[in-house]
């Protein structure tokens, strides 16, 4: 079940508002299930400024290596260092301990283009039907 209070991307990242212009970002439960067991997480650094859809990290799983993308333009203000020693948190708690980065988004970015939980779940159903 995807949390109701989050926004989602079609690349299967989630965005949680932390108040003001700050958000936390991770991957969805659907994404972690598709990847399989995550064995390594590599994330960009604090103070890196990235544009919408630019890769902010890489996940290595038993199945594949996948890039993860910025859901908005902004500057990374925190990185989840726990994932260095416990990459499995992405699988066991993708919406909690498996968070990846915190971002201060660019002024004027209103998080447009992100999906509600209903829109995201409909997107997954449509993609799975293909």
Rounded to two decimals, the pTM is 0.94
Ramachandran category for residue 34: left, alpha or beta (phi over 0 → left; psi -120 to 50 → alpha): alpha
Two structure tokens written together for 126: 């449509």
The side-by-side arrangement of strands in the sheet containing 55-61 is 38-43, 55-61, 65-69
Residue with tokens 């996948």: 66
Q: What are the sequence ranges of the domains in the chain? A: 7-125
In the predicted structure, residue 44 carries a pLDDT above the cut 70: yes
Model confidence band, residue 130 (pLDDT cutoffs 50, 70, 90): low
CA 118-5-73 angle, to 5 degrees, is 95
Contacting residues for 85 by C-beta, under 8 A, at least 6 apart: none
Cβ-contact 88, 37 below 8 angstroms: yes
Q: Has residue 1 got a pLDDT over 80?
A: no
| pLDDT, tens digit (0-9, with 9 covering 90-100), for 57-109 | 999 999 999 999 999 999 999 999 999 999 999 999 999 999 999 999 887 76
pLDDT of residue 96: 97
The mean pLDDT of 32-51, rounded to a whole number, is 96
Q: Kindly indicate the confidence band of residue 2, based on its pLDDT and cuts at 50, 70 and 90.
A: confident
Task: Please provide the CATH number assigned to the domain covering 7-125.
Answer: 2.40.50.100
Q: What is the rounded average pLDDT of the residues 27-49?
A: 97
């Amino acid at each position: 079940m995807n949390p109701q209070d989050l926004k989602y991307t079609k690349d299967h990242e989630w965005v949680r508002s932390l108040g003001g212009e700050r958000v936390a970002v991770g991957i969805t439960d659907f994404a972690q299930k598709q990847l399989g067991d995550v064995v390594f997480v590599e994330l960009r650094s604090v103070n890196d400024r990235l544009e919408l859809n630019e890769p902010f990290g890489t996940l290595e799983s038993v199945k594949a290596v996948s890039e993860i993308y910025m859901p908005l333009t902004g500057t990374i203000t925190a990185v989840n260092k726990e994932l260095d020693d416990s990459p499995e948190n992405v699988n066991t708690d993708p919406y909690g301990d498996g968070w990846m980065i915190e971002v201060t988004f660019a002024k004027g970015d209103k998080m447009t283009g992100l999906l509600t939980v209903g829109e995201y779940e409909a997107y997954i159903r449509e993609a799975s039907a293909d």
